[in-house]
C-alpha cells in the first residue's frame, strides 16, 4: 500500500482526482468522500474498524458514517482542506474496500450547509451558535463541534429579505446537472446559472433558495 506522507502539502481537488486509485472518491464540502454499499451492518462495521485502524497508524482522523447497508468515509483536515496525505489514505481505503468485495456508489454522495444572510452591521453568529449548540469555524462560519450537524456559513448583504438565507448542497461534479434537472422537473425555478458548472442557484415554488454546488469537486 502507498505510504502516507509525513509532511503533507496542500492540494486542489483537481490534483486529488489526477491521482491513481481514487476513482471512487469525490470532493465535497469538508473533504474527499467515498461511499460503499455493504451487505450487512456487521460487514460495514468490520470495514469501518479496518479504516479506523489504518488511519490511526498515521495519525489521521477521517469521518466514518456507518449505516446498516452503507459506509461513507471522508478524509479531512480540521479546516476542511485537502492535502497530499488524503490521496494516500484514499488509495489505502479503496484497497481495503476492494479486498472486502464492497461496491462503491459515488453518485449518492452529498454534503450540505446553511448559508445565513444577514445585515452587514449585525453579528448574528453568536445567536445561531447558541441556538444550534455550535462553535466558531474559521473566522466567519460556525459548525457542530461533533461534526454531525449541517455547518453554517454567514454572508453579509446590504439588503436582507425573505429567501436570502438558503441551503447549499454539495454534490459530485458528475451528478450536479442531473440534480438540477430533477429539482426543476419537481417544480423548482432556475434563478442563476451564470456560474455553471460550478454551481446553480434554484428556487422552490414558494421561493426558498437552494444552491447546487459542484465547485468543491472542480477546483484547480
pLDDT in tens, 8-34: 778 999 999 999 999 999 999 989 999
Looking up residue 22, the CATH number of its domain turns out to be: 3.30.1360.20
- Please tell me the number of Cα atoms within 13 Å of 142 on its side-chain side: 20
Q: Is 4 part of any domain?
A: no
- The domain boundary, picked from 59, 80, 108, lies at 108
Instruction: Give the Cα separation of 79 and 199 in Å (integer).
Output: 22
Same domain, 85 and 131: no
Domain housing 185: 111-217
Say which residue the cell 476513482 belongs to: 23
Instruction: Summarize pLDDT for 131-143 with one digit per residue, the tens.
Output: 999 999 988 899 9
Instruction: Give the Cα separation of 80 and 84 in Å (integer).
Output: 13
Phi, psi dihedrals of residue 97, rounded to the nearest 5°: -65, -40
Same domain, 124 and 29: no
How large is the average pLDDT for residues 98-116? 96
- The closest alpha carbon to 216, from 122, 109, 123, 139, belongs to 109
Same domain, 161 and 123: yes
Residue 128, pLDDT > 90, answer: yes
3 vs 155, residue with greater confidence: 155
Instruction: Summarize pLDDT for 37-81 with one digit per residue, the tens.
Output: 999 999 999 999 999 999 988 778 899 999 999 999 999 776 668
Same domain, 137 and 61: no
Q: Is 3 part of any domain?
A: no
9 vs 111, residue with greater confidence: 111
End-to-end CA distance of the chain: 27
- The domain boundary, picked from 74, 108, 142, lies at 108
Q: Is 38 part of any domain?
A: yes
Same domain, 15 and 84: yes
DSSP secondary structure letters along 153-182: EEEEESS--TT-SEEEEE--TTTHHHHHHH
Residue 126, pLDDT > 70, answer: yes
Residue 6, pLDDT > 80, answer: no
Same domain, 118 and 60: no
What local confidence, expressed as pLDDT, does residue 7 receive?
58
| Number of domains making up the chain | 2
pLDDT band (50, 70, 90) for residue 154? very high
Q: Is 101 part of any domain?
A: yes
Instruction: Summarize pLDDT for 167-206 with one digit per residue, the tens.
Output: 999 999 999 999 999 999 999 999 999 999 999 999 998 8
Same domain, 44 and 123: no
pLDDT band (50, 70, 90) for residue 1? low
Looking up residue 169, the CATH number of its domain turns out to be: 3.10.180.10
Instruction: Give the single-character DSSP code of 7.
Output: S
- The closest alpha carbon to 77, from 5, 23, 173, belongs to 5
Same domain, 194 and 172: yes
Q: Is 1 part of any domain?
A: no
- The domain boundary, picked from 52, 83, 108, lies at 108
**Could you tell me the three cell numbers for 133?**
449548540
Q: Is 49 part of any domain?
A: yes
Same domain, 58 and 23: yes
Residue 130, pLDDT > 80, answer: yes
Average per-residue pLDDT for the chain: 91
Strands (E), the chain: 10-11, 26-28, 31-37, 63-67, 70-75, 82-83, 103-104, 111-119, 135-137, 141-143, 152-157, 166-170, 189-192, 199-203, 209-213
Same domain, 163 and 193: yes
Same domain, 73 and 16: yes
Phi, psi dihedrals of residue 190, rounded to the nearest 5°: -80, 120
What local confidence, expressed as pLDDT, does residue 12 receive?
93
Global pTM exceeds 0.85 = yes
Q: Is 5 part of any domain?
A: no
Q: Is 2 part of any domain?
A: no
Same domain, 34 and 60: yes
Amino acid at each position: 500500500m502507498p505510504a502516507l506522507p509525513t509532511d503533507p502539502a496542500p492540494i486542489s481537488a483537481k490534483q486529488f482526482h489526477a491521482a491513481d486509485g481514487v476513482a471512487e472518491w469525490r470532493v465535497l464540502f469538508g473533504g474527499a468522500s467515498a461511499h460503499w454499499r455493504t451487505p450487512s451492518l456487521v460487514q460495514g462495521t468490520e470495514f469501518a474498524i479496518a479504516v479506523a485502524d489504518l488511519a490511526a497508524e498515521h495519525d489521521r482522523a477521517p469521518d466514518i458514517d456507518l449505516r446498516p447497508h452503507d459506509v461513507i468515509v471522508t478524509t479531512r483536515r480540521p479546516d476542511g482542506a485537502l492535502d497530499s496525505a488524503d490521496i494516500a489514505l484514499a488509495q489505502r481505503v479503496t484497497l481495503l474496500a476492494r479486498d472486502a468485495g464492497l461496491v462503491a456508489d459515488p453518485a449518492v454522495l452529498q454534503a450540505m450547509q446553511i448559508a445565513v444572510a444577514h445585515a452587514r452591521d449585525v453579528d448574528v453568529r453568536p445567536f445561531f451558535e447558541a441556538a444550534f449548540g455550535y462553535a466558531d469555524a474559521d473566522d466567519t462560519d460556525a459548525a457542530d463541534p461533533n461534526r454531525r450537524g449541517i455547518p453554517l456559513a454567514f454572508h453579509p448583504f446590504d439588503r436582507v429579505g425573505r429567501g436570502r438565507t438558503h441551503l447549499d448542497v454539495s454534490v459530485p461534479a458528475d451528478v450536479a446537472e442531473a440534480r438540477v434537472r430533477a429539482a426543476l422537473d419537481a417544480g423548482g425555478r432556475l434563478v442563476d446559472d451564470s456560474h455553471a458548472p460550478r454551481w446553480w442557484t434554484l428556487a422552490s415554488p414558494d421561493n426558498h433558495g437552494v444552491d447546487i454546488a459542484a465547485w468543491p469537486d472542480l477546483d484547480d
